[in-house]
Chain A
Amino acid sequence: MADSKNSSKVSSDKTDRKRANSPYADATAKRLKSESKTEKPNPYLAHWEDESNMNNGFSKGSPFKAFKRRQTTAKQAAKAEDSDNNPFTGQPHSQQYFNILKTRRNLPVHKQRQEFLDLYQKSQILVFVGETGSGKTTQIPQYVVYDELPHLNHKMVACTQPRRVAAMSVAQRVADELDVTLGEEVGYSIRFEDKTSSKTMLKYMTDGMLLREAMHDHEMSRYSCIILDEAHERTLATDILMALLKQITQRRPDLKLIVMSATLDAQKFQRYFCDAPLLAVPGRTHPVEIYYTPEPEKDYVEGAIRTVLQIHAGEPEGDILLFLTGEEEIEDTCRKISLEVDELVRETDAGPMAVYPLYGTLPPYQQQRIFDPPPNPSKKGGRPGRKCIISTNIAETSLTIDGIVYVVDPGFSKQKIYNPRLRVESLLVSAISKASAQQRAGRAGRTKPGKCFRLYTEKAFKEELIEQTYPEILRSNLANTVLELKKLGVEDLVHFDLMDPPAPETMMRALEELNYLACLDDEGELTPLGSLASEFPLDPSLAVMLISSPEFYCSNEMLSITALLSVPQIFVRPAQKRREADEMKNLFKHPEGDHLTMLNVYHAFKGVMNRGEDTKMWCHQHYLSFRHLSSADNVRAQLKRIMETQGLELVSTDFHDKNYYTNIRRALVTGFFMQVAKRENNKIYRTLKDNNSAVMLHPSTVLGADYDWVVYNEFVMTSKQYIRTVTGIRPEWLLELAPVYYDLETWEGQKDVKQALKAVAEKMRRRNAMKGGK
């Protein structure tokens, strides 16, 4: 993150540079020439056979003259890097480039460049371990580029990242380091945004994007080397990519794979990839002393607050990082600590302390504040100030904050857990793993020796914490994954070689969900609808809803709703101004439900935008998130493009037609018929079928008590069970639009619901008979 600070300046410099008559044209011409030479029967192996030929293709002055693909040395590369002209573009290097080069050469990985190249050239798969700060994410892909020479053989190098932000900022940084323009030689590709060109040789991308690409290119033939970064995070997409690439590398001996991990459990990766060689680079870390409580802590939040104050009062200079679980808890604790510190300052001579929250949904400018320097002493010669960052586990791996010396770890985090019996994915507070605790402790030793205070006993650490955090694939709904796997051509779901295969029950549930959505047939084969649905980077239910929306003459509207459902909550409700925020929300209120209310917001937002007014101001006034609304707008544009390429009609019902909203609600049912609740009494609803639980409408809903049947977008499990984002529907639609799921012949359990649906069916039958009689 810190890297991206000075990057914007650099890129602007570069765009100024003239590119008009660059020797690039020559380079392309040469590339074409060399291509025409290599007319061998097997295009895959062409570059193996013809390396000598290709090398002849270099112009005399090229720094790559002596390079042989996959036989280069660190010395050669260093020489090329030092040359006056950029070896890839032919442009002269900027001064900035040489400045960066100097810092790059100080990174821990640089010392092992030759060692890396030796191993890389020798083996097809390589496991690379480097702690955060070793420079692996930025440097290793460049080392590979200098060895693969991708501008000559038309095959790219890809480096995956679990997070979009990381992919974008790292790509920018590496573009600066290579002295090229972002989007040309170095680019990135994330969901809903592709910043690459035909020149791109190094591509940073989210792991999900590479997976989507693989759906159309099962051999990943565009790449000569794939680097899976942050593999220790074990995201769903990385896990699937590992299994997929394990297969592909057997079919394609020319494809190289590097798995990069930040933690030392890399042996697991090694074992999984048939004892691939491992290279470890030490990070820049300092020792961290670890402390436990002698007795379990009764209240971990209170314990955490007391610990922070204790550190502030008694420990020497250095910033504090406290890990808590969620937004509300963090904001609350921020307030409490600030108050307590004020008191502490008044009573003793303690220095000032700045307290910052940090969580995923925090707006970026507020997230940036954590990088502010700590406050100055309140008076001259007074005790130094410090900052205290209270964070969710995003500060555990993904974000590096320098200056942290003290870590307070209560041992909890919020984790997504999927329950296939209830078909509910929920965020639950649970104890962290040992690996995670160690990672947290490590955050204290980034700048100097640090201390970690764990709010549990050593015995609890040893006996109660699990070894490793469960990888995402074991904690997720697999409906989307199964659809992707089917599209990726994976036939045998049972023996697909995943590192941690999910429970059979989760798999069965995913298959059944897709079956109900008609994406898979009864034998588990992909249907045309399923194939189409997999084109959308969406949940299958949303994709199916979007695909069927033209039948209800409301695909434009469903496009908006889908986009709005794929971004975080658009309504802002600050703790101090709840009433005002709710009043503003009421302006957009649609009595039939939250989906329609969100649609109203979007239409109003677009209206403001089209009138050319200040949308940011307008959002601020109306307590809406400008960031999320504009990203919804962006998502909508992308989805629209997919709709168009797939030949799906974009239609709307006339707004004055009385069926305008009814059509939308009916279209909602086609995707969400598995997420329906029926009212039991006054405020209690009961969700149907497998997830048979009593729920309440989330307090944020605009829906009154007018509807006995509702569809919901989200099942929220907290101290109470809520359904969030609800819209009222008519039970007839369930029987009409999802006859398989609501088949009364095979209905089991929930007798009252069956009775009610039977009555509805009877009514429908009679009405039809009447119509027929007329």
Chain B
Amino acid sequence: MTSNESDHDEYDDVPLQHKRPFGSGLKRKRVVFVPASSGPLNSTEENTTPKPSKSVSDLYLSIVLPKETSTAAAKEQADKDAPKICEVCSLPVNENENAKLGTIDTGKTEEKTTSRPHEASIAHQVCMTHSHPPSAVDRSRMGLGVLQSQGWDLDSRRGLGALEQGMQHPIKVTPKNDNLGIGVKVPKNLPPKKEKVQKLDAKKVRKMAEEDKRRHERLRHQFYGNSEVEKYLGPG
């Protein structure tokens, strides 16, 4: 199956800067296919492993990325004739799509096919196992060391317990300091509160006027006191 093979090559050939960051929705977008230059292959095993690459990021990806897609693909290839159930997402694989894809040899026809390959479907993508970014917990903590020595893996996203089925994160509760009942939604953008109308007596008014005047004066002085402005305006 050439399409799958090229699928793998893609990882190696895409320059680093064009690679999407790891973990961002793996293959939501339509997968674009190009026919392999060497023609259809007889055996798939040979090419399932990606070519060794010198790039550090490729090495990293080859470690963290599971080889699920390739093995699943190999399986599909093997029992092509039987009505297949995808191993990853346990949904039936649409035969016609694959057949169509197998025969695609030009970019043009490919663009016209409306149905996507099964591997590109969201259902399949969601079910794929993929590793998570490592935990942010400080690795030097004594408590972590003890748990790890007892066989707990920080990055496995598992809890404690006989089957490591426990909760992963402590319970979070935000303090409640009001009397709002359950289910009351506080609208986020409340209209700003109206300020109380202040009552002013004569003394306050005088004071405010004075302050206003002083500020005005200062501004004017700053502006007109500027030597460059003065030069520009000329004396007088």
Residues of B within 8 A of A460 (CB): 182-183
- Interface 1/0s, chain B 146-169, versus A by CB < 8 A? 110111101000011110111111
For the complex, is B134 an interface residue (Cβ under 8 Å from A)? no
Residues of A within 8 A of B180 (CB): 298-300
Stretch among A150-158, A208-216, A492-500 lining the B interface? A492-500
Are B166 and A428 within 8 A (Cβ)?
no
Question: CB within 8 A of A301: which of B151, B171, B179?
Answer: B179
Stretch among B44-52, B114-122, B137-145, B219-227 lining the A interface? B137-145
Cα distance A271–B146 in the bound complex, in angstroms: 30
Are A502 and B167 within 8 A (Cβ)?
yes
Are A464 and B183 within 8 A (Cβ)?
yes
Are A410 and B181 within 8 A (Cβ)?
yes
Are A430 and B173 within 8 A (Cβ)?
yes
Residues of A within 8 A of B56 (CB): none
For the complex, is B170 an interface residue (Cβ under 8 Å from A)? yes
Question: CB within 8 A of A504: which of B160, B173, B175?
Answer: B160
- Shortest CB–CB separation between residue B68 and chain A, in angstroms? 27
For the complex, is B233 an interface residue (Cβ under 8 Å from A)? no
Residues of A within 8 A of B106 (CB): none
Residues of B within 8 A of A523 (CB): 145-146, 149
- Interface 1/0s, chain B 74-99, versus A by CB < 8 A? 00000000000000000000000000
Are B181 and A303 within 8 A (Cβ)?
yes
Residues of B within 8 A of A512 (CB): 141-143
Q: With A493-B150, A498-B166, A523-B146 in contact, is A428–B160 under 8 Å at CB? A: no
- Interface 1/0s, chain A 283-317, versus B by CB < 8 A? 00000000001001111111100000000000000
Residues of A within 8 A of B154 (CB): 504
Cα distance A465–B165 in the bound complex, in angstroms: 23
For the complex, is B176 an interface residue (Cβ under 8 Å from A)? yes
Residues of A within 8 A of B164 (CB): 494-495
For the complex, is A719 an interface residue (Cβ under 8 Å from B)? yes
Tell me the nearest residue of chain B to A246, going by C-beta.
B162
Cα distance A470–B167 in the bound complex, in angstroms: 11
6 contacts between A and B (CB under 8 A): A296-B181, A420-B170, A428-B175, A474-B170, A492-B151, A523-B149
Are A298 and B160 within 8 A (Cβ)?
no
Tell me the nearest residue of chain A to B179, going by C-beta.
A299
Are A718 and B177 within 8 A (Cβ)?
yes
Residues of A within 8 A of B143 (CB): 507-512, 515
Q: With A508-B147, A511-B142 in contact, is A411–B182 under 8 Å at CB? A: yes
Stretch among A51-59, A138-146, A383-391, A451-459 lining the B interface? A451-459
For the complex, is B229 an interface residue (Cβ under 8 Å from A)? no
Question: CB within 8 A of B170: which of A419, A515, A522?
Answer: A419
Cα distance A494–B152 in the bound complex, in angstroms: 7
Cα distance A504–B150 in the bound complex, in angstroms: 12
Which A464-490 residues have C-beta < 8 A from chain B? 464-465, 470, 474-475
The CB with the most chain A CB atoms within 10 A, among B152, B164, B175, is that of B175
- Closest 4 interchain pairs by CB? A508-B143, A501-B166, A297-B181, A460-B183
7 new A-B contacts, CB < 8 A, other than A293-B181, A497-B162, A523-B145, are A296-B184, A297-B181, A298-B180, A495-B162, A502-B166, A503-B169, A718-B175
- Interface 1/0s, chain B 34-58, versus A by CB < 8 A? 0000000000000000000000000
Q: With A495-B161, A512-B141 in contact, is A506–B179 under 8 Å at CB? A: no
Cα distance A81–B53 in the bound complex, in angstroms: 85
Cα distance A343–B27 in the bound complex, in angstroms: 70
- Shortest CB–CB separation between residue A588 and chain B, in angstroms? 32
For the complex, is A650 an interface residue (Cβ under 8 Å from B)? no
Residues of B within 8 A of A515 (CB): 142-143
Residues of A within 8 A of B161 (CB): 495-498, 501
Are B166 and A298 within 8 A (Cβ)?
no
Tell me the nearest residue of chain A to B177, going by C-beta.
A719
For the complex, is A505 an interface residue (Cβ under 8 Å from B)? yes
Cα distance A699–B173 in the bound complex, in angstroms: 25
Cα distance A18–B175 in the bound complex, in angstroms: 60
Question: CB within 8 A of B169: which of A430, A455, A505, A524?
Answer: A505
- Shortest CB–CB separation between residue B195 and chain A, in angstroms? 24
Residues of A within 8 A of B144 (CB): 508
- Shortest CB–CB separation between residue B70 and chain A, in angstroms? 33
Cα distance A412–B179 in the bound complex, in angstroms: 10
Question: CB within 8 A of A503: which of B149, B150, B166, B185?
Answer: B166
Residues of B within 8 A of A511 (CB): 142-143, 146-147
Residues of A within 8 A of B181 (CB): 293, 296-300, 303, 410-411, 455-456
Are B168 and A524 within 8 A (Cβ)?
no
Question: CB within 8 A of B160: which of A430, A502, A717?
Answer: A502
- Shortest CB–CB separation between residue B201 and chain A, in angstroms? 34
Tell me the nearest residue of chain B to A746, going by C-beta.
B140
Q: With A299-B179, A494-B152 in contact, is A504–B168 under 8 Å at CB? A: yes
For the complex, is A429 an interface residue (Cβ under 8 Å from B)? yes
Cα distance A415–B172 in the bound complex, in angstroms: 12
Are B167 and A474 within 8 A (Cβ)?
yes
Are A495 and B150 within 8 A (Cβ)?
yes
- Shortest CB–CB separation between residue B154 and chain A, in angstroms? 8
Cα distance A465–B182 in the bound complex, in angstroms: 9
Are A417 and B142 within 8 A (Cβ)?
no
Are B150 and A492 within 8 A (Cβ)?
yes
For the complex, is A418 an interface residue (Cβ under 8 Å from B)? yes
Are B160 and A501 within 8 A (Cβ)?
yes
Cα distance A601–B169 in the bound complex, in angstroms: 43
Residues of A within 8 A of B173 (CB): 415, 417, 428, 430
Tell me the nearest residue of chain A to B184, going by C-beta.
A296
Cα distance A492–B176 in the bound complex, in angstroms: 37
Cα distance A608–B177 in the bound complex, in angstroms: 42
For the complex, is A278 an interface residue (Cβ under 8 Å from B)? no
Tell me the nearest residue of chain B to A503, going by C-beta.
B170
Residues of A within 8 A of B142 (CB): 511-512, 515, 522, 524
Residues of A within 8 A of B146 (CB): 493, 508, 511, 523-524
Cα distance A426–B177 in the bound complex, in angstroms: 14
Are A456 and B166 within 8 A (Cβ)?
no
Cα distance A655–B166 in the bound complex, in angstroms: 53
Cα distance A298–B183 in the bound complex, in angstroms: 9
- Shortest CB–CB separation between residue B98 and chain A, in angstroms? 42
For the complex, is A688 an interface residue (Cβ under 8 Å from B)? no
Residues of B within 8 A of A412 (CB): 176, 182
Are B179 and A494 within 8 A (Cβ)?
no
Question: CB within 8 A of A494: which of B150, B168, B176?
Answer: B150
Q: With A419-B170, A512-B141 in contact, is A464–B165 under 8 Å at CB? A: no
Cα distance A293–B182 in the bound complex, in angstroms: 11
Cα distance A590–B227 in the bound complex, in angstroms: 67
Cα distance A718–B178 in the bound complex, in angstroms: 11
Cα distance A491–B176 in the bound complex, in angstroms: 39
Cα distance A418–B180 in the bound complex, in angstroms: 24
Residues of B within 8 A of A496 (CB): 160-162
Tell me the nearest residue of chain B to A475, going by C-beta.
B171
Question: CB within 8 A of A456: which of B162, B165, B169, B183?
Answer: B183
- Interface 1/0s, chain B 168-208, versus A by CB < 8 A? 11111101110111111100000000000000000000000
Residues of B within 8 A of A510 (CB): 143
For the complex, is A431 an interface residue (Cβ under 8 Å from B)? yes
Cα distance A728–B141 in the bound complex, in angstroms: 30
Are A507 and B183 within 8 A (Cβ)?
no
The CB with the most chain A CB atoms within 10 A, among B144, B180, B181, is that of B181
Cα distance A511–B142 in the bound complex, in angstroms: 7
Residues of B within 8 A of A492 (CB): 150-151
Residues of A within 8 A of B176 (CB): 412, 428-430
Q: With A428-B176, A504-B152, A717-B175 in contact, is A494–B182 under 8 Å at CB? A: no
Cα distance A428–B159 in the bound complex, in angstroms: 25
Are B170 and A501 within 8 A (Cβ)?
no
- Shortest CB–CB separation between residue B229 and chain A, in angstroms? 44
- Shortest CB–CB separation between residue B137 and chain A, in angstroms? 7
Cα distance A297–B146 in the bound complex, in angstroms: 48
Question: CB within 8 A of A470: which of B150, B171, B183?
Answer: B171
